Amino acid sequence: MPYRAATALCVAALAVWTLAGPASADKTAEQIRAVQKVVGPSTVVVSFTIERDDGAKADVRALGTVVGEGNVVTLASAAIPPQFALSQFKDFKVIVTKGDDLTEYEAEYLGKDDRAQLAFLKVTDASAPALPPLGFDETTKVQVGDLLISVANLGEPDGYERVFQMTRVSAQIDQPVTTYLCMKGLGAPGTPVLTPEGKAVGIVGLVRMNRGTNARPKMALAQVLWPTERFIERIKDPPKGGKAIKQAWLGVQTLTPVTKDLAEYFKLGDRRGVIVGQVIEESPAEKAGIKAEDIILAVGGKPITGTEGQLVENFSNEVRERKVGETLDLQVWRGGKRQTIKVTLAPMPKTVGEAERFHDETFGLTVREMVVGDRISRELPASETGVVVSFLKPAGWAHDGGLRPGDIIKKVRDQDTPTLAEFKKVFRAEVKKKPKEVVLFVLRGKKDTQLVRIEPRW
């Protein structure tokens, strides 16, 4: 989700939908008030700050839900943007509202699980009261036509007043994750969704859906009811230490849906699937023998199905649902024949946000370790090494010397810097000499090697 959207998760102005007729309206009002009594004490406002590389700060407010003893609180995982390092998230607090009173309590960030679509924190302030956790119902099954009530909140000027909205389930979608569309907009992402009887049956989730046509897909995020079964195990076992729970990784990309025409060409009948465009080096897919142009027809014996515009997303969801270390049988069409290939899924590689960083204030320079995503986006081999320039202070020494964000520093003068640890060691030793210029060899773009001369203003 874009950064600006993540910072605005708590902003909503939602109208309460009422049923026709005075008697129905009275019943609806009673139901909403009953849900308000159930949810109100268990919802809080989560507050934290994201500090950018340039020092600028953005304050984030999101509606959270108390889900465990010891004041464990959840919020939408989308509120924790993946492009930022854990060290850039600061000052986590939980704001408890009671009438016009707003009381802040210190909190610790525990981590997130993007598969469950939840992030977790725990109130650490000893003066905080014991907040009542909201229990999520694991037995009630939602059906098309059911009435539901979701929650959002207004901003700080309005004391984060809760807003309740009644809606009705309009469709069930299996892709393969079971989710539910509703007639009207739901509340803020990550917030609870309840039945009129007060049973919490899920949260407001986000899924990628094709809002275009099969011929011209237009993928967009859509709000859905994310049912309890999708996240209840994570609530029972929250992450620890600020780490993100690793998702399963296959290592194929640039996928193309098998259209009706392609199915006829390859003589697949009514079968559908995805065509592999690229196999990432040293990935589980490569180790198992998956090749570019293979057509994957089934995962774990389950055929890949869906509209042409949704096939790729359905396949990706099927893989994401699996566990790290799980061995999958992939049915593959290659050279006019079907074959089964066993693949053992690995943890998702380290992301940009998880990469270690090094900042030198004097030179106005921040670099980070290279991750798999860097090599993929720039079509570099798995053997490529170096450190990536992630931030340059405007008018700083490194900036004025011609270094650019995204440059991969390969050498400091004549010494290789294949890792972040090696770069720090070599760079510090060079700076200690206070030379007239610091010479860097960098890889710019995909193949362009540049010599950068930084002239320090000692």
- Tell me, yes or no, whether 203 and 309 share the same domain: no
Q: Cα–Cα distances in Å, from 288 out to 57, 319, 338?
A: 45, 15, 16
In a domain, 239, yes or no: no
CATH number at residue 204: 2.40.10
In a domain, 242, yes or no: no
- Tell me, yes or no, whether 113 and 19 share the same domain: yes
**Tokens coding 362:** 């004097």
Number of domains in the chain: 4
- Tell me, yes or no, whether 10 and 112 share the same domain: yes
Q: Which of 23-32, 199-208, 365-374 has the lowest mean pLDDT?
A: 23-32
Average pLDDT over residues 390-419: 96
Q: Count CB atoms within 10 A of the CB of residue 361.
A: 9
Task: Say yes or no to pLDDT of 5 above 60.
Answer: no
Q: How high is the pLDDT of residue 218?
A: 82
CATH number at residue 288: 2.30.42.10
Q: How high is the pLDDT of residue 360?
A: 95
The alpha carbons of the chain give a radius of gyration, in whole angstroms, of: 25
Q: What is the mean pLDDT of the chain?
A: 91
Angstrom distance (rounded) from CA 115 to CA 320? 7
Q: How high is the pLDDT of residue 25?
A: 57
In a domain, 238, yes or no: no
**Tokens coding 302:** 């389950």
- Tell me, yes or no, whether 253 and 317 share the same domain: yes
Angstrom distance (rounded) from CA 17 to CA 165? 6
Angstrom distance (rounded) from CA 47 to CA 33? 27
- Contact of 247 with 348, CB cutoff 8 Å: yes
Average pLDDT over residues 168-185: 88
- Tell me, yes or no, whether 13 and 119 share the same domain: yes
- Tell me, yes or no, whether 397 and 426 share the same domain: yes
- Tell me, yes or no, whether 117 and 201 share the same domain: no
Residue 68 makes CB contacts below 8 A (sequence gap 6+) with 133, 235, 238
In a domain, 220, yes or no: yes
Task: Say yes or no to pLDDT of 112 above 70.
Answer: yes
| 296 closest CA partner among 347, 247, 253, 248 | 253
In a domain, 138, yes or no: no
Picking from 201, 232, 263, the residue at the C-terminal end of a domain is 232
- Contact of 297 with 268, CB cutoff 8 Å: yes
- Tell me, yes or no, whether 320 and 370 share the same domain: no
168 membership: H or E segment, kind and range: strand 162-174
What is the value of pTM for the model shown?
0.86
| 380 closest CA partner among 282, 248, 294, 255 | 282
- Tell me, yes or no, whether 299 and 208 share the same domain: no
In a domain, 128, yes or no: no
Task: Say yes or no to pLDDT of 454 above 60.
Answer: yes
Picking from 347, 375, 404, the residue at the C-terminal end of a domain is 347
Average pLDDT over residues 373-393: 94
Q: How high is the pLDDT of residue 374?
A: 95
pLDDT in tens, 417-435: 999 999 999 999 999 999 9
Coil, helix or strand at residue 158:
helix
pLDDT band at 4 (very low <50, low <70, confident <90, very high): very low
Average pLDDT over residues 170-177: 86
pLDDT in tens, 270-297: 999 999 999 999 999 999 999 999 999 9
Give me the percent of the chain exceeding a pLDDT of 70.
94
Q: How high is the pLDDT of residue 187?
A: 86
Q: How high is the pLDDT of residue 151?
A: 92
- Tell me, yes or no, whether 113 and 44 share the same domain: yes
- Tell me, yes or no, whether 432 and 339 share the same domain: no
Average pLDDT over residues 42-71: 94
In a domain, 237, yes or no: no
- Contact of 50 with 83, CB cutoff 8 Å: no
Picking from 347, 374, 404, the residue at the C-terminal end of a domain is 347
- Tell me, yes or no, whether 112 and 9 share the same domain: yes
Domain, as residue range, for 332: 248-347
Angstrom distance (rounded) from CA 391 to CA 1? 22
Q: How high is the pLDDT of residue 24?
A: 52
pLDDT in tens, 7-47: 344 333 333 333 344 545 578 888 889 899 889 999 999 99
pLDDT in tens, 210-267: 877 766 778 888 999 999 999 999 999 999 999 999 999 999 999 999 999 999 999 9
In a domain, 335, yes or no: yes
Angstrom distance (rounded) from CA 94 to CA 103? 8
DSSP string spanning 3-64?
Answer: HHHHTTTT----PPP--SSHHHHHHHHHHHHHHHHHHGGGEEEEEEEEE-TTS-EEEEEEEE
392 membership: H or E segment, kind and range: strand 387-392
CATH number at residue 93: 2.40.10.10
pLDDT in tens, 291-346: 999 999 999 999 999 888 889 999 999 999 899 999 999 999 999 999 999 999 99
| 78 closest CA partner among 237, 191, 159, 200 | 191
DSSP string spanning 306-326?
Answer: S-GGGHHHHHHHHHHTSPTT-
